[in-house]
Amino acid sequence: MKSKFIFITGGVLSSLGKGIVAASLGLLLEGKGLKIALMKLDPYLNVDPGTMNPFQHGEIYVTDDGAETDLDLGHYYRFTNSPLSKISNSTSGQIYDEVLKKERAGEYLGKTVQVIPHITDVIKNRIIACSNQKSDIDVTIIEIGGTVGDIESQPFLEAIRQFRHEHLGDSINIHLTYVPYIEHADEVKTKPTQHSVQQLQRSGIFPDMILCRCKESLSKEIKEKISLFCSVPIERVIDVIDVKNTVYEVPILLQKAGFDISISELLDIKKQKSNLQKLEKFVADLISTKKTINIGFIGKYLQHKDAYKSIFESLTHAGIVNGVLINIIGIDSEKITDEDNFSKAVSQCHGILVPGGFGERGLEGKVTAAKFCREHNVPYFGICLGMQVMVIEFARNVLNLHKANTTEIDPLTKYKVISLLSEQKNVKNIGGSMRLGAYKCNIDVSSLSYKAYGKHQISERHRHRYEFNNEYKKLYEEHGLKVVGTNNDNNEELCEIIENINHQWMVGVQFHPEFKSKPTDPHPLFISFIKAIVSNEKKNCRRD
């Protein structure tokens, strides 16, 4: 089958869930036996979101090949089997950079370099490259970040217009809008949708289908109105109702609303109903799960609900296999001043997770939390900085290495238990220069981690500059903190996993397991963490 292309644009406002819709569409197509590739085009000028503050951008999702990408790629991973790599996320920054480098190299042979055709050509080439990354991709789904009408999106919309013209019959546009319910008028309003479709039409793009994000399902009259004003057949005006329990209901709801049939007709692809069995089972299990456990989550970007997206999702996935829902109790690391105040915060938690992070702010609070969890046998999962904190705490309070620290925070500390990776020593630029992407890790058979993964060698994704200092390895191991996972690719050994062998479940990992958990395939370490808590609950033997 010749590859087809689906463009997804958004109107009216941001945060309508375009990423979830794109991922759901991917899953629906996979459910018909098709191979898909998903791609996100971001109109901002940063080369990638890696240099942005989590408040600005939410989580940075890392791919195997070390791209720091938009968090929507996390949705793509969790919903589908789309290949995900550098080519799956392009920003205006990357596109302009590519054009300007070519210009400096003289590749435009004296021409004036312009948005059309030079920028739009690069955009189109990248779409093609994404669909060509594997030979068997049937459908490429391209999500355009931002909202139509934004100045930044213009070159992307123009590129889509051209692309559709060049691939007539093989490409369609789905436009996601918002249909608000206005309480004082007791009415659902279609005007914002009409206006955003007009915006899109002004760019020469005529949507083939309109998805309407709404609170309740839309009446026939409302759909007729949207259909008439936006020139889209009524069966292609589809409502995307706010889900009650979980985002994983979205593909199921879209299928019920006729989305998958309409797509098949539009693209002339397999008509059979998509098989969503595995996801349906996950959703049914989630809905029927009643028991809840509390996980204390120690971070500094807690107000931003997307800053730790993949970790929250991974906890949910692992909870369901263990028969529990996860209630996250956010504990602001900057507010942890001493053990007393932490013990109050933690009293209602069954386990503690310390995620990744950067910089000094909140670090001491995390160290206090690690000390409390170690001393009180509270299950503790440390991810990246959360692992480094475990190492720092152990040095200070067990090994008596006074003021031991990471050189990220205190470069002059006498005890550099976490120090800069040697490969980082000559790095000058901060963008895209961390140890990024997938690396192998060899696991010790006697460890909890081995039990969780059930294999000697794993591969996990990374995003860090600092690392456990092996000079202290022997001392740590003599006192019960064991390096149980290492990377041995180069001459030096890098610590990837540590475990406190005198604790029921205190595991720290230098990598980010959260990037590889799916509802239908939860991550082994998250499963093991929740399992330890659940079996504690059964024994009712948590020691406080």
Report d(CA 460, CA 64) in Å as an integer.
Answer: 8
Closest among 278, 317, 282, 255 to 29, alpha carbons compared? 255
Considering only residues 96 to 155 of the shown chain, the ones binding ligand GLN according to CB under 6 A are none
Residue whose beta carbon is closest to ligand GLN = 356
Residues that bind ligand GLN (rule: CB under 6 A) add up to a total of 10
Instruction: For residue 496, state whether it binds ligand GLN (rule: CB under 6 A).
Output: no
Closest among 539, 487, 535, 479 to 511, alpha carbons compared? 487
Tell the smallest beta-carbon distance from residue 127 to ligand GLN (Å): 31
CA distances from 420 to 253, 407, 416, 468 (A): 48, 7, 9, 9
Instruction: For residue 44, state whether it binds ligand GLN (rule: CB under 6 A).
Output: no
Toward ligand GLN, which CB reaches closer, 40 or 464?
A: 464
Please, which residues have CB within 8 angstroms of residue 163's CB and are 6 or more apart in sequence?
A: 5, 7, 124, 127, 171
Report d(CA 212, CA 198) in Å as an integer.
Answer: 15
Instruction: For residue 461, state whether it binds ligand GLN (rule: CB under 6 A).
Output: no
Tell the smallest beta-carbon distance from residue 337 to ligand GLN (Å): 22
Toward ligand GLN, which CB reaches closer, 282 or 515?
A: 515
Closest among 397, 352, 400 to 373, alpha carbons compared? 352
Toward ligand GLN, which CB reaches closer, 71 or 222?
A: 71
In the list 11, 31, 49, 356, the residue contacting ligand GLN (rule: CB under 6 A) is 356
Instruction: For residue 362, state whether it binds ligand GLN (rule: CB under 6 A).
Output: no
Strands 405-406 and 380-383: unpaired
Strand, coil or helix: what is 298? strand
Report d(CA 530, CA 295) in Å as an integer.
Answer: 9
In the list 57, 118, 416, 464, the residue contacting ligand GLN (rule: CB under 6 A) is 464
Neighbour-count burial for 123-137, b at 16+ CB within 10 Å, e otherwise: bbebbeebbebeeeb
Cα angle at 106 between 101 and 110, to 5 degrees?
125
Part in contact with ligand GLN (CB under 6 A); list of ranges 37-45, 249-257, 300-308, 350-358: 350-358
Part in contact with ligand GLN (CB under 6 A); list of ranges 72-80, 102-110, 245-253, 461-469: 461-469
- Asked whether the beta carbons of 5 and 163 are under 8 A apart, the reply is yes
In the list 126, 463, 482, 516, the residue contacting ligand GLN (rule: CB under 6 A) is 463
Instruction: For residue 385, state whether it binds ligand GLN (rule: CB under 6 A).
Output: yes
Closest among 359, 297, 291 to 322, alpha carbons compared? 291
Instruction: For residue 466, state whether it binds ligand GLN (rule: CB under 6 A).
Output: yes
Tell the smallest beta-carbon distance from residue 385 to ligand GLN (Å): 4
Toward ligand GLN, which CB reaches closer, 300 or 503?
A: 300
CA distances from 60 to 106, 218, 431 (A): 34, 35, 13
In the list 366, 465, 503, 518, the residue contacting ligand GLN (rule: CB under 6 A) is 465
Closest among 29, 32, 34 to 2, alpha carbons compared? 34
Instruction: For residue 384, state whether it binds ligand GLN (rule: CB under 6 A).
Output: yes
Instruction: For residue 358, state whether it binds ligand GLN (rule: CB under 6 A).
Output: yes
Tell the smallest beta-carbon distance from residue 421 to ligand GLN (Å): 8
DSSP assignment of 389-416: HHHHHHHHHTS--TT-EETTT-TT-S-E
Toward ligand GLN, which CB reaches closer, 361 or 455?
A: 361
Considering only residues 404 to 443 of the shown chain, the ones binding ligand GLN according to CB under 6 A are 408
CA distances from 67 to 97, 108, 357 (A): 16, 28, 18
Which amino acid is present at 178?
Y
Instruction: For residue 311, state whether it binds ligand GLN (rule: CB under 6 A).
Output: no
SS (H, E, C) 70-120: CCHHHHHHHHCCCCCCHHHEEEHHHHHHHHHHHHHCCCCCCCCCCHHHHHH
- The 8-27 site mask, x for binding ligand GLN (CB under 6 A), equals --------------------
Toward ligand GLN, which CB reaches closer, 381 or 466?
A: 466
Toward ligand GLN, which CB reaches closer, 364 or 408?
A: 408
Instruction: For residue 308, state whether it binds ligand GLN (rule: CB under 6 A).
Output: no
Instruction: For residue 357, state whether it binds ligand GLN (rule: CB under 6 A).
Output: yes
So which residues are the catalytic ones? 384, 512, 514
Instruction: For residue 366, state whether it binds ligand GLN (rule: CB under 6 A).
Output: no
- Residues in contact with ligand GLN by CB under 6 A are 356-358, 384-385, 408, 463-466
